Amino acid sequence: MAELKNDLILRAAKGQSVERTPVWLMRQAGRILPEYRAVRNSLSGFKELVETPELAAEVTIQPVDILGVDAAIIFSDILVVPEAMGLTYEMVEKKGPWFPKTISSENDFANIRVADPNELDYVYKAIEHTLAGLNGRVPLIGFAGAPFTILCYMVEGSGSKTFSKARKMIFQRPDLAHKLMDMITETTISYLHAQVDAGVHMLQVFDSWAGILDKDLYKAFSMPYLERIADSLSSRVPLTLFAKGAHFSIDDLASTSCRTIGVDWNTPPAYARAQAGPDKTLQGNLDPTVLYADGKEIAKHTIKMLESFGSEKHIANLGHGVYPDTNPDSVKIFIDTIKSYEHDKNQ
């Protein structure tokens, strides 16, 4: 594999010193770039792009070329895991994912299985193509959804503001919720190992719906599975846990073997650091809507963020994925402000 020319993000994740803070954006591949839409519009839909390794690699590399980020994230979706387990999804234009079959009772388990990681071969091929195209310019991040967030989609069948069917299962059939998350966890662990085998340099686990639980439920229904994933993978590559909305569980996340904890924009950096302790790297956390402001304002908020996190053990990012109608020039201001910022290391 090509030697990395820019390994800032890996050093920051490991807690080593860096010349400047590294930066990337959640959901940077796709969404905001006209170059992405050109590729996407030439195809039958989202799934064709995800399942065509050459094209997935092309859109993975676009933000590195166009925006100048310090890492690429493989173009895929967290929903490929439930699909490999037996629940196929459809990506409905302008609406989002939809699962014709869901899990609501014991009987529905007949439709699913722990997936053979080879079923996701197209992802590993996309990783190999991406690494060849990157040629060591920046590291490549692999990812998966957290078992709890995947359960939300498998039970609910689509996006939701409340995921009340998933929460209902936790109270009515906690045994089924655990059985399902056990299967998701096993699938996810072998899937992430296969991504590392294919060459990704680091991993992120997205628990996008963590914030619909409280601390006790999160500890009982998400943490054990995140722990298993972190324990199995973090000796191979640095692993980031991003539990959106779960500021109340940063201390629990910090007790796992992950290297980095993602911080959403609602959580003050000083609070996150106090909860996480001194060892972990923190990632985040600019409010994505700041990127709708004018350039001066974007730079001001970005510098405030950099100063709040400090010069070490920080990977700059937004507090959640970049919104689709964000102007790429504004993203560029965010990135360039970070790249040109010099921390006062005497403070």
Query: Binding residues for ligand 1CP, per CB under 6 A?
Result: 27-31, 40, 46, 73, 75-79, 91, 96-97, 143, 159, 206, 208, 321
Residue 108 is classified by DSSP as G
3-class SS of residue 117: helix
32 or 338, CB closer to ligand 1CP? Answer: 32
53 or 299, CB closer to ligand 1CP? Answer: 53
C-alpha 123/C-alpha 57 separation (Å) is 10
Minimal distance in Å, beta carbon 130 to ligand 1CP?
12
For this structure, is 228 an active site residue?
A: no
**DSSP H or E segment with residue 232:** helix 223-233
Residue type, 187: T
Minimal distance in Å, beta carbon 287 to ligand 1CP?
15
Name 154's Cβ contacts closer than 8 Å, sequence gap at least 6: 82, 85, 87, 99, 102, 103, 112, 180, 184
147 or 311, CB closer to ligand 1CP? Answer: 147
C-alpha 69/C-alpha 63 separation (Å) is 7
Which position has the token pair 């072998």? Answer: 190
C-alpha 29/C-alpha 25 separation (Å) is 9
Minimal distance in Å, beta carbon 158 to ligand 1CP?
7
C-alpha 92/C-alpha 79 separation (Å) is 13
For this structure, is 173 an active site residue?
A: no
> Which one from 40, 137, 173, 236 is the annotated catalytic residue?
40
> Which one from 36, 89, 153, 191 is the annotated catalytic residue?
153
> Three-state secondary structure along 142-168?
EEEECHHHHHHHHHHCECCCCCHHHHH
For ligand 1CP, the nearest residue by Cβ is 159
10 or 210, CB closer to ligand 1CP? Answer: 210
For this structure, is 259 an active site residue?
A: no
For this structure, is 40 an active site residue?
A: yes
> Which one from 7, 31, 36, 273 is the annotated catalytic residue?
31
Minimal distance in Å, beta carbon 92 to ligand 1CP?
9
287 or 312, CB closer to ligand 1CP? Answer: 287
Minimal distance in Å, beta carbon 305 to ligand 1CP?
19
63 or 117, CB closer to ligand 1CP? Answer: 63
Minimal distance in Å, beta carbon 300 to ligand 1CP?
26
> Which one from 27, 37, 173, 236 is the annotated catalytic residue?
27
Q: How many CA atoms, within 13 angstroms, populate the side-chain half-sphere of residue 171?
A: 6
C-alpha 90/C-alpha 259 separation (Å) is 34
Spatial contact of 151 and 165, defined as CB atoms under 8 Å apart: no
For this structure, is 191 an active site residue?
A: no
Give the residue numbers annotated as catalytic, written as ranges: 27, 31, 40, 77, 153
